[in-house]
Amino acid sequence: MAEYRRLVVLDTNVLVSALLSPQGPPAQIVGLTLAGELTAAHDPRILDEYREVLARSEFGFSRPLVREILAVLELDGLPTTAHPLSQRLPDPADEPFLEVASAAGATLITGNSRYFPPGRRGRTSVVTPRQFLDSLRGR
């Protein structure tokens, strides 16, 4: 990997997928982030959503593991002050992720790129976990 740290915003579905399938692309991205190879931009809305979703009983995630992941994302990540989007997204709950990515100049990694229509992304790169990993590997 390059000597610089890549700046990303992780959609909540990337964290959920990483914990559900520890060998898949989302887990690899979360692993790179926890290892300091990637820097996750965030704001309080994103951190609150992470906490709420990862604590859901239907997932049954280990609470100590979730606390550890969230602590690293918050402490080693980049707190970002976001600005409202010029165009609304179909689901307003997705807007904080695109707002933070836009404000930070970060790549938004999501398993649901269709929720971020190309005409509403501005200059922000929105990619799937597989696309992101392929770009890191120069494919």
Gap between the Cα atoms of 33 and 76, Å rounded: 9
Q: Please check whether residue 92 lies inside any domain of the structure.
A: yes
Asked whether residue 138 carries a pLDDT value surpassing 90, the answer given is: no
- The predicted-structure confidence for 21-48, as pLDDT tens digits, reads as follows 999 999 999 999 999 999 999 999 999 9
Q: Please check whether residue 18 lies inside any domain of the structure.
A: yes
Gap between the Cα atoms of 2 and 113, Å rounded: 26
Q: Please check whether residue 1 lies inside any domain of the structure.
A: no
CA distances from 50 to 70, 104, 121 (A): 8, 19, 22
Asked whether residue 2 carries a pLDDT value surpassing 50, the answer given is: no
Asked whether residue 3 carries a pLDDT value surpassing 70, the answer given is: no
Q: What is the per-residue burial (b if ≥16 Cβ within 10 Å, else e) of 39-68?
A: bbbbbeebbebbeeebeeeeeebeeeebee
What pLDDT does residue 4 have? 44
Gap between the Cα atoms of 134 and 59, Å rounded: 28
Asked whether residue 1 carries a pLDDT value surpassing 70, the answer given is: no
Domain that holds residue 122: 6-136
What pLDDT does residue 5 have? 58
Total domain count for the chain?
A: 1
Gap between the Cα atoms of 112 and 3, Å rounded: 29
Residue 37 belongs to domain with CATH number: 3.40.50.1010
Asked if 110 and 128 count as a contact pair (C-beta separation under 8 A), the reply is yes
Asked if 95 and 105 count as a contact pair (C-beta separation under 8 A), the reply is no
| pTM for the model | 0.93
- The predicted-structure confidence for 56-115, as pLDDT tens digits, reads as follows 999 999 999 999 999 999 999 999 999 998 888 888 999 999 999 999 999 999 999 899
Q: Please check whether residue 111 lies inside any domain of the structure.
A: yes
What pLDDT does residue 137 have? 84
Q: Please check whether residue 128 lies inside any domain of the structure.
A: yes
